[in-house]
Chain A
Amino acid sequence: MGDALAVHRLQFAFTITFHYIFPQLTMGLALLIFILKTAALRTGDEQWNRAARFWAHIFGISFALGVVTGIPMEFQFGTNWSEFSRLAGGVIGQTLAMEGVFSFFLESSFLGIFLFGEKRLGPLGHWFSSLMMFLGSWLSGYLIVQTNAWMQHPVGYAVAADGSFQLQSFWALLLNPWGLWQYAHTMLGAVQTGCFVMAAVGAYYLLSRLHEDYGKLFIRTGVIVGILAAFLQLFPTGDGQGVMISTYQPTTLAAMEGLFQTQPGAPLALIGQPDVPRQRLDNPLTIPRMLSFLTYRKWTAQVRGLDQFPQSNWPDNIELLYFSYHIMVGLGTIFIAILAIAAWKLLRGTLFQSKLMLWTLMLALPFPFIANIAGWITAEVGRQPWIIYGLMRTSAGVSPLVSAGNAWFTLIGFMGMYGILAMLFLFLVYREIEHGPAPEHLPERRAHVL
């Protein structure tokens, strides 16, 4: 049984990680496209519309992949985690079903209109469909984050006679404070992905001396929106999320910080490798007392280390948790630095001439994806060994009759399929970028390129 459990976990981890490449991009781009369309409507300048159309192509490709890799996520709750679903479906099924009913219909309806109906709708109608797409995708994010938040910090439920969890307060579930912080933090991460992708494409155009007007427009939009998101990512949302973790998941906090011993004036580890069997951090580089300050706003406050908690409640992969958390925070800090310098140079009017900054922006492209995914790994590995924090262990949630062999069969299938999808995605997005925001968008360009 233990063997099958590991495969089921691996399959969920693999499929969700791959899936999340796409929604973070589409949620970020949905906001940016809406901004571009708003600018087009206000200024009447056709350049903004062409820019929006260009990004709508990339949005469309990503959205399609987000949809096809997203359906398996909903299904896997039932196929691979049937005991969890049997007991918790009455609660988390609510938010999942609401996502389908309220946001997917909205998104898919208006995406169809947005992509196919620009001429039929006119400028105002097209702008409106971009607003609806933005609202739909962000609502979808909200309901999914609240679903996850219930597993992190269960609220508004009662335990029925058969052991199942039943909804007791709809509003408590929907306004779970854990989820409010997590949502703000997650969405800002998505906005940064969108901004970095937009700025990277712009930098690529400027460096290759192609579509330079658009390149500048992309960089300007990406950097200005990005710097706002990057600061808000750190404070207040990152901080608020940290307070949630220290309040409700103190074991997780100790594990992600690599704090094995309880101590007053606890240091913040910047670098170092956790040695779990010996319960220490190797090669540490720390800021003394910083962790106490960040957690309790007091330099001398006592922070509970892992030694305060029974080993059976420790996350079962402390090393991965520690590294994913540090990668997320480290990258987030670097993003602030890059965007702050870029914004400064933009204000002074020197950004477009700075080769170094353009190269930096271009090469930064993959890192927000890594940071976002590392953030989710922190949340999910940090929740272990619980599938519902404090209530149900992950090992109790798995489908008891689906053998390791069947789970491997499907995991291998997903890996093969997603490998091909990844290649197709890169190929198609690269073609769009190579083609650039053409002044006229006619189907011939698609039909006769090869």
Chain B
Amino acid sequence: MGTIWFWLVSIMLAGYVVLDGFDIGVGILHLWIARDDAERRTVIRSIGPVWDGNEVWLIAAGGTLYFAFPALYATGFSGFYLPLIMVLWLLILRGVSLEFRGHVGGHIWPVLWDAGFALASILLAIFYGAALGNVVRGVPLDPYRRFFEPLWTDFQPRGQTGILDWYTVLVGITALAALALHGAAWLAYKTEGELNERAFQCLRTLWWPVALLTVTITIVSFRLEPWLLWDFRANPWGFIFPVLALAGLLGVLWFARDGHDAAAFGASCAYLIGMLTSVTFSLYPNVLPSSVSPIHFGLTVSNARAADYGLKIGLVWWLIGMALVAGYTTFVYRSFAGKVGTADTETEEGY
């Protein structure tokens, strides 16, 4: 039961990264890709009807984590207290920027919220990457399986670690690059004309740093935490995850060169899913490893999970609920399928 939920939570988190990832990516890039107010409005309209629903994946994944692994939720959230609260502030800034931008015109108001949207998106990508880096690196859990990390200590991934050290910052930068690539793929898929050309240009340029960072981070992770390889040795079928990531990454460049916008976006999704599932696979059965004594204090699927009854009943409603979610999501994306027009041609705006 614990293992099933481990994978279900991972799927929800992957869903969150793939979906909210593209609108974060759009936020990272939009100041550079969209040159004037009309273009920015087009860019924002491409995510307008969906970004809020994408963010719900985070809330739903958080809630699912809460009931399936209460001890992980408690330890992880209180231990990462400062960065998590900052993530909340950034989510507020980002949500408000997107929602309020269109309400007032003029020269000041939209510029302000464009900057807010970009800043929040950039920092969120880095924070998410750093959070993932922290989980992989492990945290200094005490014998009660609790910890509290300051934002930084000496920037070394050993001993009394902080949230930020050279390793987690590197993961953060990788996440920034990967989500920017994902956002560029989305814009290439959803826009037309000059904006579309710029998105493709950006996609081809960004590919190289993303590829370089991906290779670097993979090597560094395995050198720093050799136990990450154990699961791959024991179950070689797990190699499908890194292979998926690699295929996705190569696919992005391949399709971007040919101008296949939908395929390039699909490949970018595959890359992100492949990367995340590779991490998940190699972490299992750990959910929050200890950097002090990996064997004794770490949180694992079995010591962090809730009791059987709750997990079983949860499976029933979760499956029903997620089937409904798949339905609405398909409906929404189909309702807004196709390229978004430029601001001048579309008169129908949200509010």
Chain A residues with a Cβ under 8 A of chain B? 56-57, 60-61, 64-65, 67-69, 71-72, 74-75, 77-80, 82-83, 85-94, 96-102, 104-106, 108-113, 115-121, 160, 164, 166-168, 170, 399-403, 406, 409-410, 413, 417, 421, 424, 428, 431, 442-443, 446-450
Question: Quick one: given A108-B53, A401-B147, are A443 and B307 in contact (CB under 8 Å)?
Answer: no
Question: Quick one: given A97-B60, A102-B321, are A89 and B104 in contact (CB under 8 Å)?
Answer: no
Whether a CB of chain A sits under 8 angstroms from the CB of B347 is yes
Are B91 and A79 interface neighbours, CB within 8 A? no
Determine, out of B63-71, B176-184, B211-219, B256-264, the stretch whose residues face the partner at the interface. B63-71
B77-90 vs A, CB cutoff 8 Å, 1 = contact: the mask equals 11111101100110
Chain A residues with CB under 8 A of B49: 112-113, 115-117
Question: Quick one: given A406-B82, A450-B105, are A67 and B95 in contact (CB under 8 Å)?
Answer: yes
Question: Quick one: given A89-B306, A108-B56, are A424 and B67 in contact (CB under 8 Å)?
Answer: no
Are B64 and A121 interface neighbours, CB within 8 A? no
Question: Quick one: given A60-B99, A101-B63, are A446 and B310 in contact (CB under 8 Å)?
Answer: no
Chain B residues with CB under 8 A of A78: 66, 73-74, 76-78, 84
Residue from A75, A113, A402 in contact with B335 in the complex, judged by beta carbons closer than 8 Å: A113
Whether a CB of chain A sits under 8 angstroms from the CB of B331 is yes
Nearest residue, chain B, Cβ from A77: B66
* B160 to A: closest C-beta gap in Å: 13
10 contacts between A and B (CB under 8 A): A75-B88, A78-B73, A78-B77, A89-B70, A93-B67, A104-B56, A109-B331, A167-B313, A403-B148, A443-B102
Nearest residue, chain B, Cβ from A420: B96
B164-196 vs A, CB cutoff 8 Å, 1 = contact: the mask equals 000000000000000000000000000000000
Are A56 and B351 interface neighbours, CB within 8 A? yes
Are A166 and B66 interface neighbours, CB within 8 A? no
* A17 to B: closest C-beta gap in Å: 16
Chain A residues with CB under 8 A of B92: 68-69, 71-72, 417, 421
Q: How many residues of B contact A (CB 8 A)?
A: 73
Chain B residues with CB under 8 A of A160: 307
Chain B residues with CB under 8 A of A82: 74-75, 77-78, 146
Whether a CB of chain A sits under 8 angstroms from the CB of B324 is yes
Question: Quick one: given A88-B70, A97-B60, are A79 and B348 in contact (CB under 8 Å)?
Answer: no
Question: Quick one: given A82-B75, A108-B53, are A101 and B325 in contact (CB under 8 Å)?
Answer: yes
Are B77 and A105 interface neighbours, CB within 8 A? no
* A162 to B: closest C-beta gap in Å: 9
Residue from A65, A67, A93 in contact with B63 in the complex, judged by beta carbons closer than 8 Å: A93
CA A160 – CA B324 in complex, angstroms? 33
Are A413 and B100 interface neighbours, CB within 8 A? no
* A105 to B: closest C-beta gap in Å: 5
Whether a CB of chain A sits under 8 angstroms from the CB of B309 is yes
* B63 to A: closest C-beta gap in Å: 3
Q: A91-B310, A160-B307 are in contact. List 20 more A-B contacts (CB 8 A).
A: A61-B351, A68-B92, A68-B95, A71-B58, A72-B88, A78-B84, A85-B74, A86-B74, A93-B63, A93-B70, A97-B318, A105-B325, A108-B52, A111-B52, A166-B306, A168-B309, A399-B78, A399-B81, A403-B148, A421-B96
Chain B residues with CB under 8 A of A98: 63, 317, 321
Are B78 and A104 interface neighbours, CB within 8 A? no
Whether a CB of chain A sits under 8 angstroms from the CB of B156 is no
Nearest residue, chain B, Cβ from A90: B306
CA A80 – CA B79 in complex, angstroms? 10
CA A57 – CA B96 in complex, angstroms? 15
CA A100 – CA B81 in complex, angstroms? 22
Whether a CB of chain A sits under 8 angstroms from the CB of B109 is yes
Chain B residues with CB under 8 A of A89: 66-67, 69-71, 73-74, 306
* B169 to A: closest C-beta gap in Å: 21
* B199 to A: closest C-beta gap in Å: 22
Residue from A65, A402, A421, A424 in contact with B81 in the complex, judged by beta carbons closer than 8 Å: A402
Query: Which residues of B from 284 to 319 have beta carbons under 8 Å from A?
Result: 306-307, 309-310, 313-314, 317-318
Are A93 and B348 interface neighbours, CB within 8 A? no
Nearest residue, chain A, Cβ from B107: A450
Are B85 and A97 interface neighbours, CB within 8 A? no
* B139 to A: closest C-beta gap in Å: 12
Question: Quick one: given A78-B74, A413-B89, are A443 and B62 in contact (CB under 8 Å)?
Answer: no
CA A65 – CA B52 in complex, angstroms? 12
Are B332 and A113 interface neighbours, CB within 8 A? yes
Question: Quick one: given A79-B81, A402-B78, are A105 and B336 in contact (CB under 8 Å)?
Answer: no
* B114 to A: closest C-beta gap in Å: 14
Are A417 and B95 interface neighbours, CB within 8 A? no
CA A166 – CA B313 in complex, angstroms? 12
Question: Quick one: given A57-B351, A113-B335, are A101 and B53 in contact (CB under 8 Å)?
Answer: no
Question: Quick one: given A105-B324, A166-B306, A399-B81, are A86 and B347 in contact (CB under 8 Å)?
Answer: no
Are A105 and B328 interface neighbours, CB within 8 A? yes
Are A80 and B335 interface neighbours, CB within 8 A? no
CA A119 – CA B77 in complex, angstroms? 43
Chain A residues with CB under 8 A of B321: 98, 101-102, 105
CA A96 – CA B350 in complex, angstroms? 29
Name, among B78, B103, B306, the residue most crowded by chain A CB atoms within 10 Å (CB to CB). Answer: B78
Name, among A71, A96, A117, the residue most crowded by chain B CB atoms within 10 Å (CB to CB). Answer: A71
Query: Which residues of B from 137 to 176 have beta carbons under 8 Å from A?
Result: 146-148
* B332 to A: closest C-beta gap in Å: 5
Question: Quick one: given A86-B74, A167-B307, A402-B81, are A64 and B96 in contact (CB under 8 Å)?
Answer: yes
* A114 to B: closest C-beta gap in Å: 9
Are A106 and B328 interface neighbours, CB within 8 A? yes
Residue from B109, B146, B318, B335 in contact with A450 in the complex, judged by beta carbons closer than 8 Å: B109
CA A137 – CA B74 in complex, angstroms? 27
Chain B residues with CB under 8 A of A402: 78, 81, 148
Nearest residue, chain B, Cβ from A99: B63
Whether a CB of chain A sits under 8 angstroms from the CB of B224 is no
CA A100 – CA B63 in complex, angstroms? 7
Residue from A97, A102, A409 in contact with B67 in the complex, judged by beta carbons closer than 8 Å: A97
Chain A residues with CB under 8 A of B328: 105-106, 109-110
Question: Quick one: given A85-B70, A443-B349, A446-B349, are A79 and B85 in contact (CB under 8 Å)?
Answer: yes
Are A448 and B335 interface neighbours, CB within 8 A? no
Closest 6 CB pairs of A and B: A89-B70, A93-B67, A78-B77, A97-B63, A100-B60, A90-B306
Are B99 and A61 interface neighbours, CB within 8 A? yes
Nearest residue, chain A, Cβ from B313: A170
CA A69 – CA B109 in complex, angstroms? 22
Question: Quick one: given A108-B52, A428-B100, are A75 and B74 in contact (CB under 8 Å)?
Answer: no
Nearest residue, chain A, Cβ from B56: A104
Chain A residues with CB under 8 A of B73: 77-78, 85-86, 89, 93
Whether a CB of chain A sits under 8 angstroms from the CB of B106 is yes
Are A413 and B85 interface neighbours, CB within 8 A? yes
Nearest residue, chain A, Cβ from B94: A68
